[in-house]
Amino acid sequence: MDVIALHQADITNVIALSGTAFTEAQIRMIRRLTDQVYLFLDNDSAGIKATFSCIESLANTDMDTYVIPLPNNTKDADEALEK
């Protein structure tokens, strides 16, 4: 739902991770299209853990990596857009 909500808000260069998995193959596919990654994962323990895992996976690439923090008391991108 987060990807759909972001697309509806005209933020269209968005992908969703399957659960919290982020593989080397996915990184290679993304790298073919861009050299910047913005992480915008859920604000729960699994999302926070996945954010750190993604940062570690991207650390050995030449891609610029940014984390978009969610506002306090916001659980995900869909809810952040509603507010």
Pure H helices in the chain: 2-8, 24-33, 45-58, 77-82
Report how far residue 49's alpha carbon sits from residue 39's, in angstroms, rounded to the nearest whole number.
12
Domain count, the chain: 1
Range of the domain at 13: 2-82
Report how far residue 54's alpha carbon sits from residue 77's, in angstroms, rounded to the nearest whole number.
17
Is there a contact between 6 and 77 (Cβ–Cβ < 8 Å)?
A: yes
CATH code for the domain of 65: 3.40.1360.10
Segment 33-73, tens digit of pLDDT:
999 999 999 998 988 999 999 999 999 899 999 999 988 88
Q: Which two tokens stand for residue 79?
A: 């809810």
% of the chain at pLDDT higher than 70: 98
pLDDT score, position 19: 63
pLDDT score, position 9: 92
Q: Is residue 20 over pLDDT 70?
A: no
